[in-house]
Amino acid sequence: MLLRIYEDNPQEKAIQQAVDVLKKGGVIIYPTDTVYGIGCDITQQKAIERVCQIRGLKPDKSNLSFICYDLTDISQYTKPFDTAVFRVLKKSLPGPFTFIFNASGQVPKLLSSKKKTVGIRVPDNAIVRALVKELGNPIVTASIRDEDDILEYSTDPELIHEKYEDQVDLVIDGGYGGNIASTVVDVTSGEFEVIREGKGDLSQYL
């Protein structure tokens, strides 16, 4: 099913419809502030396995990230970090970054890699943040990639729906997506190490 939601004012009824799908263990595709993502409720193990299967990832080896609503949410799933890190997070989020932290015991085993780390996003996108807030749990996220040689990521929600409608329970059309992924920053050592340059420029927040 393709569900149109407007980012500037996400319709409550439509958000609730998408959240109902997530609560039942469904897999959805949704917009972020970077590329379209595929994901599910963090507490639904079978749904996480489905996300991995659709994206061709091995759950224990893949670095799946998840989307939180805000900084308060983040602190539940990470080991404590210092004030310098907190200050940068406060300035840069919501935004196009994935921060890699040392995982706390709250992170499902399927999601923390053997290194016991976890990637966390707070995208600057009202639709996906409304979903997470209404759901009450983070959403697991993986990017929707494109087989196209030129575009690495799929940007047209209607084409994404055509491709994935038999594999997922819902595709949210939040308008055209971007095709530059988030900047990935490792903060496990207390320092900021950019391990993938993407849409976000961390230097302006340091």
Residue 68: per-residue pLDDT: 96
Q: What are phi and psi of 90, to 5 degrees?
A: -60, -35
For the segment 25-36, what is each residue's pLDDT rounded down to a tens digit? 999 999 999 999
CA angle 194, 200, 203 (to 5 degrees): 60
For the segment 77-128, what is each residue's pLDDT rounded down to a tens digit? 999 989 999 999 999 999 999 999 998 888 877 676 666 888 999 999 999 9
pLDDT of 149 > 60? The answer is: no
Rounded to 10 deg, the angle between the 126-135 and 12-23 helix axes is: 60
Q: Where are the alpha helices (DSSP H) in the chain?
A: 12-23, 45-55, 71-77, 83-92, 126-135, 157-164
Q: Who's near 44: CB < 8 A, 6+ residues apart?
A: 22, 25
Residue 114: per-residue pLDDT: 67
| Cβ–Cβ < 8 Å for 74, 89 | yes
Residue 195: per-residue pLDDT: 94
Handedness of CA 121, 28, 146, 140 (dihedral sign): positive
- Reported confidence tier of residue 147, pLDDT bands at 50, 70, 90: low
Task: Report the distance separating Cα 195 and Cα 105, nearest Å.
Answer: 24
Q: Which domains does the chain have, with CATH numbers?
A: 2-205 (3.90.870.10)
pTM, whole model, 2 decimals?
Answer: 0.92
- Reported confidence tier of residue 179, pLDDT bands at 50, 70, 90: confident
pLDDT of 136 > 80? The answer is: yes
Residue 123: per-residue pLDDT: 97
Give the mean pLDDT of 175-182: 91
Residue 63: strand, helix, or coil: coil
For the segment 152-176, what is each residue's pLDDT rounded down to a tens digit? 677 899 999 999 999 999 999 999 9
Q: Are strands 2-4 and 170-173 parallel, antiparallel or unpaired?
A: parallel
Residue 187: per-residue pLDDT: 95
Torsion of CA 143, 179, 196, 76, to 10 degrees: -40
- Reported confidence tier of residue 148, pLDDT bands at 50, 70, 90: low
CB-based burial label for 45 (10 Å; 0-12, 13-18, 19+): middle
pLDDT of 63 > 80? The answer is: no
For the segment 9-60, what is each residue's pLDDT rounded down to a tens digit? 999 999 999 999 999 999 999 999 999 999 999 999 999 999 999 988 876 6
